[in-house]
Structure 1
Amino acid sequence: MASPTDDPPDTRTPTELPLPLRWLLKVFAVLCLILGLVGVFVPGLPTTVFILMAAWAAARCSPALYRWLWHHRLFGPMLRNWANGGCVSRRAKWSATLMMGLSSIILSFTQAPLWAVALASICMACVLAWLWRRPEPARNSA
């Protein structure tokens, strides 16, 4: 298992990509990071998926940003768990369940059409079913 002091998995060097593509990936990484940070505070907006996308992009364009994400106290464990077999912590599963449940409840009290409420709730239920089937990290790496 990886520890917080381990280096992130090897990535391609950024010089393999053309400069405009590296800048586009860097902008994408920063945008995903911002959305992930907003997702920490906004119910219904995912954090983990945006951090995973930010790390993916950063690994291809900015080794420094990727290392920063890998060693970050909040985002690092998510990335390391995912890198070690697609694991998701039980705390993250419960947090997602509570936030999606709250989002469904709030959505049901809005003026949204019934079909939209039902579709959003079904999508969230499918995501939760997939999420709860993901393995959990070993106790010492959680």
Structure 2
Amino acid sequence: MSHRDIEQSRSPVIRTLLLAIGWLSVTLGIIGIFLPVLPTTPFLLLAAACFARSSRRFYLWLVEHPRLGPWVRDYLDGHGIPLKAKVYSIGLMWCSIGLSCYLVPVLPARLFMLCSGTLVTLYILKQKTLPLR
């Protein structure tokens, strides 16, 4: 996504919600740098997507940040996602889906979660893996 492709939401409620989700994602992404069980890249990508639709200033801050920016730019520039991020993302997603399927005994809900999880897994696996530097 180039800086010119940013199209912000016109609704102040949506923009506020996207900003809140974006900053929560940045916070979780930063925690994920230090806490190995929490993935960094997916949270920073979510933050970039939220900021792209809510605040050009925060989007540019994130993608140009000296520490956080490379995580986002590598993906946006087509270089890929780190293997560690792929493994954590898929693993945590399937753990949460498994728990949710256990807790929600409604067959249509379980099928929806399993189908969604399968599609997201395939999407993540299809993405280029970032070579080690």
TM-score band, normalised by shorter chain: 0.5 to 0.7
Provide structure 1 residue ranges, at least 5 long, that are not aligned to the other structure: 1-8
* Cα 1:12–1:49 shift into 2, 3 Å: closer
For the pair 1:121 / 2:114, whether they are aligned, the reply is yes
Aligned to 1:56: 52
Shift, 1:134, TM fit: 0.4
Q: Which amino acid is the alignment partner of residue 53 of structure 2?
A: A
Residue pair 2:15, 2:53 contacting (<8 A) in 1 also: yes
* C-alpha RMSD of matched pairs (Å): 3.6
Shift, 1:130, TM fit: 1.1
Residue pair 2:45, 2:72 contacting (<8 A) in 1 also: no
Please point out which of 44, 60, 65 is paired with 1:67. Answer: 60
Higher relative contact order (CA 8 A, sep 6+): 1
| 1:1-142 equivalences in 2 (<5 Å) | 10-11=3-4, 21=10, 27-37=16-26, 47-57=43-53, 61-63=55-57, 65-70=58-63, 71=65, 73=67, 75-85=68-78, 87-140=80-133
Aligned to 1:6: none
Q: Which amino acid is the alignment partner of residue 62 of structure 1?
A: R
* Cα 1:120–1:10 shift into 2, 3 Å: closer
Residue pair 2:101, 2:113 contacting (<8 A) in 1 also: no
Aligned to 1:3: none
Shift, 1:50, TM fit: 2.2
Provide the rounded CA distance (Å) in 2 between the counterparts of 1:135 and 1:27. Answer: 32
Compute the TM-score of the two structures, normalised by the length of structure 2: 0.67
Aligned to 1:4: none
Compute the TM-score of the two structures, normalised by the length of structure 1: 0.63
Provide the rounded CA distance (Å) in 2 between the counterparts of 1:83 and 1:38. Answer: 20
Percentage of matched positions with identical amino acids: 15
* Cα 1:49–1:123 shift into 2, 3 Å: farther
Shift, 1:67, TM fit: 3.3
Provide the rounded CA distance (Å) in 2 between the counterparts of 1:87 and 1:66. Answer: 19
Q: Which amino acid is the alignment partner of residue 139 of structure 1?
A: L
* Cα 1:68–1:132 shift into 2, 3 Å: same
